[in-house]
Structure 1
Amino acid sequence: MSTSLIGAGIPRIDAWDKVLGTAMYPADLNMPGVLHGKIVFSERAHARIIGIDTSAARAYPGVVAVFTHADVPCNEFGINVNDQRVLAEGKVRSLSDPVALVWAETEQAALAARKLVKVEYDDLPGVFDPRQAMQPQAPLIHEEHGSNVYRYIKVRKGDITAGFAQADVIVDGYYTTPFEEHAYLQPEAGLAYLDDAGRISIHVAAQWPHDDLHQIAHALKLPQDQIREIVGPIGGAFGGREDISIQIFLALGAYLLKRPVKIVYSREDSVRGHGKRHPFYMKYRTGATRDGILTAQEIELIADCGAYASTSGPVLANATSFAPGPYCVPHVKIDAYTVYT
């Protein structure tokens, strides 16, 4: 009896549930006594926070709690460096910064109450182009970093001057790619609770749950073995779920309130609240002989990091590695930057 699967039509394990509409995505999950959470996002791109008044929101019927940075055990996280705040503290650096988190008995109450949170800002100069952000006079997004350039990669191979001298033709080009919204079908959604062993269990759509765990544990000051992340049907990702999104909010709610909690983003919340594909500004000078042999490439890459590092370092490393294309170029000069904006 043959057991070979080569060439056989093997049904996907999850196909029937998805085709029949019986698959349970995170937004479909519920538990008795669940609280609903809504994020209060920043209304400024760059500003000092003078004060946060949550009194009206706390007094709204059905509201159980309103969290600010003071409620987070360790108010920092990041997939590579801890340059993000769970809830904004001191200042905001983008319109996607969460400032407060409202928990209520119903989603409608949470939506109404988040509009009652009042935040006083002192506006700071913004910088929205990485090329401008690299200039010495540009306002700093992270003052402690000392520069808006988060990472610089330098590549030198061969003799670039000699390479261009060998070229019969030199072509200069300037190319740009924009921000890209992933627009996955299911916006961010999740459910969290304390399981029978007392662990925080989080049902959410994610691409890198192993990386989520260390960020959640760090922010809550808990060992990783006290946190579970269960990833069911995802509803699309395309790289947009590599970053952590609502996982820390869910874990924080379940941990502090000792009740099941749920968050479901609207499409507006989703577009506002998660990272985008990095814009790039690329300057190329390429030398070649008349018979099509590449002799030299001089390349400058400038990536828009956004307000936080996230995966910008590895993305820049990948871009630098692939910048010359799939060619063996004897003389190469690359300067690559990813820049806070």
Structure 2
Amino acid sequence: MPLRVVQFGLGPIGRACARLVQSRPALDLVGALDLEAVGRDVGEVLGGEPVGVLVRDDAEAALAAWRPDVVLHTTSSFLDRIEGQIMTCVAAGAHVVSSAEELVWPFERDAGFSERVDAAARRAGVAVVGTGVNPGFVMDLLPVVLSSACARVERVDVWRSVDAGRRRGPLQRKVGAGLSAEAFREREAAGGFGHIGMVESARVLAAGLGWGGVEIEETFGPHVSDADHETEHVTVRAGSVAGIHQTATVRQGGAVRATLTLTMAVGAPDEDRVLIAGDPGLDVVVRGGTFGDTATVAALVNAVPRVAAVRPGLRTVLDLPAAAVGGRSRSVRFGACSR
């Protein structure tokens, strides 16, 4: 029997998730929740033929009617904005796979939230997990997986460079592309700006490598363009902000154990690199990078058949078993490919 899936949130990522679910024989898209597309046929919202199911915004009643096995949740990055949504899904007896970056490792950021969600999920016999490509794969899970070939790991350095000009409009605006340096700093001071999830990636990496008692420092600033760029969504002039440059440094006992460096800017090269100092050392480069929009959607949908395999409660990507595209359980893939 296919797993019954509800899509919660129909922004660009949510719609892409729902379309990928529709393409999977092992999954059955039975409903969608959203505030903007209420009353429209889900199939038409996704750009296809009508499927006879309307988008709803009454989550509690809709979930009771649809009876999903798993809810794909793609509404917000922040814990304080999603708790009620997650709790409603859990109360309906559904596992939850979410794109919320802060949910990838929520324990230090909000212990109260983590305790409440974990307790509710345990009572309901379901699992809740946050995942994606970054955080959730490139700068955390991938280095942890690579370290399995090392007898000793002394230090890990990860670099991710992303051409934001190839990404969706909301992300280009989120990294400040096209702003002046002054406007960038004003937005930064207001909070909720830039890439969310660097600290979460650092926490996952440290936990996956068994490093306890770590301290994490995050730095953040504008990436200024040296050339003009035009995208479908923004105009970037030379000397203005093209995006962000962000780092997270992991220290243990005063020594630097890991650095995570992210450049996400219009016109930046696309490349991911993991450098492990150890025995043996590893230097792995993903040429062309891991395309974030497609890989995020794949990571979410590929987690659907796996989330039911972990113990009930609030879980992380470190708990999910390896899985192949389409959810075949005996695979060594790690869930960032859509096909």
Q: Max radius of gyration: which structure?
A: 1
**TM-score, L = length of structure 1:** 0.22
**TM-score, L = length of structure 2:** 0.22
Which is bigger in relative contact order (C-alpha 8 A, separation at least 6)?
A: 1
Give the number of the structure whose residues are more often helix, by fraction.
2
